[in-house]
Amino acid sequence: MDEDEDTVLAVLDDEYARAILAHLTLEPMSVDELCTACEMSDATAYRRLNRLQDADLVTEQQELDPDGHHYKRYAATVETVTVTFADGGYEVAVTRSTTDPADRFTDLFEGLS
């Protein structure tokens, strides 16, 4: 098993990280939206999002709201994680989203107008 697999398993061991990923499979969300949806503090959300980004399970996009303020929206980059046990060992396989996260953000932005 390599370090990337260890990182994925370690981050998925956390219930808040799993909740964030589950919500991000519905649509890209800001930290405020994630905090409300997952019932967690900003600090908890930011820590988990950093770990999820380090494991390449989440991506971020800078957004501009109508008032001219900038904020980040996050999107899941993963569809499935499979752990296979065989021959005295195990492997972790991550299936990435078929839709580019940038395209998801574009679709979301276009859907607002």
CATH number at residue 73: 1.10.10.10
Question: 86: domain range?
Answer: 3-111
Total domains in the chain come to 1
CA distance 16 to 97: 21
SS3 2: coil
pLDDT at 70 over 60: yes
- First CA to last CA across the chain, in angstroms? 46
- pLDDT class of 5 with cuts at 50, 70, 90: confident
Q: Render pLDDT for 13-50 as a digit per residue (tens, 0 to 9).
A: 999 999 999 999 999 999 999 999 999 999 999 999 99
Contact predicate 35/41, CB 8 Å = yes
Q: pTM, whole model, 2 decimals?
A: 0.76
